[in-house]
């Protein structure tokens, strides 16, 4: 089965389009950030796909809202035995009650939290978020130094912050790149993909054919790394296009 890939933006939403030898169009919304992917019959052009997406925007927005709600509902209680991910590996939370500031480290398959016994879940979550941020900040300088000379442009500044719908973001005018704190939970290959992706946006603003060609040249397995960032779709719609 032959496939081709494209990127379009509809109503402020980035959409991955995969053209396949299929009869019906499929639209899926993927966790955790609500990435939208369309599998489209090869005979359809971009205008037909845009129209189809516009017609399904209410459904797409509902799925993305469900994802955001699911993230809120599954918020960690920060108690012993919980699962947490660090650089793509699963760890069980082990709690050691100690006075002073809350801190974290890993040992074997355990994420060890040193925290006062009466510390609130919110304080523990905040401390873990800061730990993730620091982990990410420790990895990014080497990756930026590796890829900026290869790709060409240099970021004027990069920052780490929590984002609801994107793994990374690039402002071409200021050459400022942001990385999602959640990347510290993913395999390092995923972080490298986002670094290459965002630096490449300094060459090409849009998710178009040129952008895909540049990514193919810089990081040939970028699609596999991108897919690793996302799990099975939250929901999918299939509908005819005759």
Q: Give the chain's domains with CATH numbers.
A: 3-73 (no CATH), 83-203 (3.30.2010)
Residues 6+ apart with CB under 8 A from 96: 112, 113, 114, 115
Report the mean per-residue pLDDT for the chain: 89
> How far is 119 from 141, CA to CA, in rounded Å?
33
**Quick one: pLDDT at residue 240?**
52
Residue-level pLDDT at 67: 81
Percent of the chain past pLDDT 70, that is, above it, reads: 91
CB-based contact 64:14 (threshold 8 Å) = no
Which residues have C-beta within 8 Å of that of residue 19, sequence separation ≥ 6? Answer: 3, 4, 5, 6, 40, 41, 42, 44
Task: Check: CB of residue 104 under 8 Å from CB of residue 111.
Answer: yes
Question: Higher model confidence: residue 89 or residue 75?
Answer: 89
E strand segments, the chain: 3-10, 13-20, 25-30, 35-41, 83-86, 89-97, 103-107, 110-115, 157-161, 168-171, 176-180, 235-239
The pLDDT tens digits of the residues spanning 121-163 come to 999 999 999 999 999 999 999 999 999 999 999 999 999 999 8
The predicted pLDDT at position 1 comes to 43
pLDDT band with cut points at 50, 70 and 90 for residue 114: very high
Question: How many residues are present in the chain?
Answer: 242
CA distance 167 to 32: 10
Tokens of 98: 């100690």
End-to-end CA distance of the chain: 20
Whether pLDDT at 237 is above 70: no
Q: How confident is the model at residue 194 (pLDDT cuts 50, 70, 90)?
A: very high
């Amino acid at each position: 089965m032959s496939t081709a890939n494209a990127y379009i933006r509809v109503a402020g939403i980035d959409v991955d389009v995969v053209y396949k030898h299929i009869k019906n169009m499929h639209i899926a919304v993927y966790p955790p950030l609500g990435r939208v992917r369309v599998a489209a019959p090869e005979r359809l052009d971009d205008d037909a796909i845009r129209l189809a997406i516009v017609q399904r925007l209410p459904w797409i927005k509902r799925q993305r809202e469900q994802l955001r709600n699911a993230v809120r509902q599954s918020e960690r209680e920060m108690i012993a035995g919980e699962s947490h991910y660090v650089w793509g590996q699963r760890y069980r939370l082990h709690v050691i009650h100690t006075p002073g500031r809350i801190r974290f480290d890993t040992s074997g398959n355990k994420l060890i939290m040193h925290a006062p016994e009466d510390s609130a879940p919110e304080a523990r979550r905040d401390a873990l978020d800061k730990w993730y941020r620091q982990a990410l900040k420790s990895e990014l300088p080497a990756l930026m130094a590796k890829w900026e000379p290869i790709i060409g442009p240099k970021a004027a500044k990069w920052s780490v912050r929590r984002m609801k719908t994107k793994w990374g973001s690039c402002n071409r005018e200021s050459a400022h790149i942001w990385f999602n704190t959640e990347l510290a939970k993913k395999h390092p290959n995923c972080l490298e993909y986002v670094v290459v992706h965002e630096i490449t946006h300094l060459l090409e603003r849009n998710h178009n054919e040129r952008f895909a060609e540049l990514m193919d040249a810089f990081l040939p397995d970028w699609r596999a790394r991108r897919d690793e960032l996302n799990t099975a779709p939250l929901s999918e719609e299939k509908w005819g296009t005759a």
